[in-house]
């Protein structure tokens, strides 16, 4: 049985190991995507706090003067005193100092490094084919971890012995790193499988929780009343914020792209579904057309949100994000040590065969 499990462990490593390492490496980067994005675009990501924050109308007018009255798709209001307000245009995202109205610059549309990393992690940057490869790679990772635990159990050795870079050193390193990273990698693989097969698992979760399937209600396009001017985005934000006191608006979609203002709100301290709040406001009358809040999530939606928060490390904030990143980084170490062990064993086996042939 041990020989069979070893062959299965080896087969998984040879067939899916590259994809598993890719998932770990890209996942480590994505765990700190917001921080890395601001680091890569530092000039557009920070402002010096001071003075009164300008209205969205003033910020929008400043952007329009600089970019030829190009229609504004949405505002991304500043969520921190040292962050700029961002304005989404068709050509890209403009960063604006919310205190002075100064245009910091624009990030034009196109594939960024971090965007490419995310595309690799989610779909192998290859559409549905890549998505299928990666989700089955996550399943393979579960079997690899389980078989690795089975192989380690009789040894139960964590320390690294033997001369450095010897076969014994690599063998002990493979076992030690594998067992120390086993739990977080199991969690990442399991939650990754759930994400990969989310559509297939949804009916099962609904059945287990007794929840009805979620139906999305479409909002029809509304025209402003001719007798009164449309409300401003600042007024729409005030109306929406009143529905969820204490929440922070982080996105304001303009009526031109949907017929209504759509204001997304985040509740500080709620890492699971704090950003799952949305209020749609009629630009003509200022009345609320529809609203959805995190407290209204179905059991299936809450399960999905919780699973995603565990997978990304958002569940406990920075400590869990660090664990996710470290676990992902250790996967290449596991792959390298495993390859070295395999190659050296093959070399030793060939030498024994050659020696036996010579003696014969």
Asked if residue 270 has pLDDT above 90, the reply is no
Q: Is residue 307 part of a domain?
A: no
Rounded to an integer, what distance in angstroms lies between the CA atom of residue 60 and that of residue 57?
Answer: 5
Cβ proximity of 96 and 63 under 8 Å:
yes
Q: Clarify whether residues 132 and 272 are in a common domain.
A: no
Q: Clarify whether residues 119 and 145 are in a common domain.
A: yes
Q: Write out pLDDT tens, residues 287-334.
A: 999 999 998 888 888 999 999 999 999 999 999 999 999 999 999 989
For residue 347, what pLDDT band results from cuts at 50, 70 and 90? confident
For residue 113, what pLDDT band results from cuts at 50, 70 and 90? very high
Q: Clarify whether residues 187 and 286 are in a common domain.
A: no
Residue recorded with tokens 């934000």 = 237
**How many other C-beta atoms can be found within 10 angstroms of the C-beta atom of residue 68?**
8
Q: Clarify whether residues 141 and 241 are in a common domain.
A: no
pLDDT of residue 90: 92
pLDDT of residue 129: 95
Q: Is residue 199 part of a domain?
A: yes
pLDDT of residue 111: 77
Q: Write out pLDDT tens, residues 164-219.
A: 888 889 999 999 999 999 999 999 999 999 999 999 988 888 888 776 654 444 44
Asked if residue 100 has pLDDT above 70, the reply is yes
**Of the listed ranges 134-143, 158-167, 216-225, 298-307, the one predicted with least confidence:** 216-225
Number of domains observed in the structure of the chain: 3
Determine what percent of the chain is predicted with pLDDT higher than 70: 93
Residue 308 in tokens: 């995603």
Strand pairing class (103-108; 261-266): unpaired
Q: Clarify whether residues 28 and 86 are in a common domain.
A: no
pLDDT of residue 218: 46
pLDDT of residue 167: 83
For residue 359, what pLDDT band results from cuts at 50, 70 and 90? low
Q: Is residue 258 part of a domain?
A: yes
Q: Is residue 224 part of a domain?
A: no
pLDDT of residue 37: 94
Residue 354 β-bridge partners: none
Strand pairing class (277-281; 92-96): unpaired
Q: Is residue 168 part of a domain?
A: yes
Residue recorded with tokens 């087969």 = 11
How high does pLDDT run on average in the chain? 90
**Residues of the domain holding 282:** 233-297
Residue 249 β-bridge partners: 265
CB-side neighbour CA atoms (13 Å) of 69: 0
For residue 95, what pLDDT band results from cuts at 50, 70 and 90? very high
Residue 236 in tokens: 């729409």
Q: Clarify whether residues 84 and 208 are in a common domain.
A: no
Q: Clarify whether residues 189 and 237 are in a common domain.
A: no
Rounded to an integer, what distance in angstroms lies between the CA atom of residue 21 and that of residue 335?
Answer: 7
Q: Is residue 223 part of a domain?
A: no
Report pTM: 0.86
pLDDT of residue 217: 44
Asked if residue 28 has pLDDT above 90, the reply is yes
Q: Is residue 304 part of a domain?
A: no
Count helices and strands in the chain by DSSP H and E runs:
12, 8
Q: Clarify whether residues 52 and 169 are in a common domain.
A: no
Q: Clarify whether residues 121 and 242 are in a common domain.
A: no
Q: Clarify whether residues 80 and 179 are in a common domain.
A: no
Q: Is residue 218 part of a domain?
A: no
For residue 148, what pLDDT band results from cuts at 50, 70 and 90? very high
- The CATH number of the domain where 240 resides is what? 3.10.450
């Amino acid at each position: 049985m041990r020989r069979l499990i070893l062959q299965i462990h080896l087969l998984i490593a040879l067939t899916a190991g590259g994809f598993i390492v890719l998932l770990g490496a890209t996942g480590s980067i994505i765990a700190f995507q917001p921080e890395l994005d601001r680091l890569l675009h530092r000039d557009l990501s920070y402002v010096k706090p001071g003075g009164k924050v300008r209205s969205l109308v003033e910020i929008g007018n400043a952007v329009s003067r600089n970019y030829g009255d190009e229609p504004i798709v949405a505002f991304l209001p500043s969520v921190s005193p040292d962050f700029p307000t961002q304005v989404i245009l068709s050509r890209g995202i403009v960063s604006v100092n919310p205190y002075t109205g100064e245009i910091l610059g624009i990030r034009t549309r196109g594939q960024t490094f971090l965007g490419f990393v995310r595309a690799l992690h989610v779909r192998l940057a290859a559409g549905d084919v890549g998505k299928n490869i990666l989700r089955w790679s996550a399943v393979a990772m579960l079997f690899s971890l389980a078989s690795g635990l089975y192989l380690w159990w009789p040894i139960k050795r964590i320390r690294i012995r033997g001369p450095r870079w010897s076969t014994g050193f690599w063998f002990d390193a493979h076992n030690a790193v594998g067992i120390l990273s086993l739990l977080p990698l199991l969690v990442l693989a399991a939650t990754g499988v759930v994400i990969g097969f989310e559509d297939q698992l949804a009916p099962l979760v609904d059945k287990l929780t007794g929840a009805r399937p979620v139906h999305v209600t479409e909002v029809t396009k509304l025209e402003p009343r001719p007798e009164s001017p449309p409300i401003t985005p600042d007024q729409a934000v005030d109306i929406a914020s009143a529905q969820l006191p204490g929440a922070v608006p982080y996105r304001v979609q303009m009526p031109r792209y949907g017929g209504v203002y759509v204001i997304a709100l985040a509740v500080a301290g709620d890492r699971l579904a704090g950003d799952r709040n949305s209020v749609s406001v009629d630009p003509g009358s200022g009345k609320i057309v529809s609203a959805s809040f995190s407290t209204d999530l179905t059991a299936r939606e809450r399960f999905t949100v919780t699973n995603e928060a565990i997978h990304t490390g958002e569940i406990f904030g920075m400590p869990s994000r660090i664990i996710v990143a470290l676990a992902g980084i250790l996967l290449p170490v596991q792959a390298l040590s495993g390859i070295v062990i395999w190659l050296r064993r093959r070399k030793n086996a060939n030498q024994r065969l050659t020696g036996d042939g010579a003696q014969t």
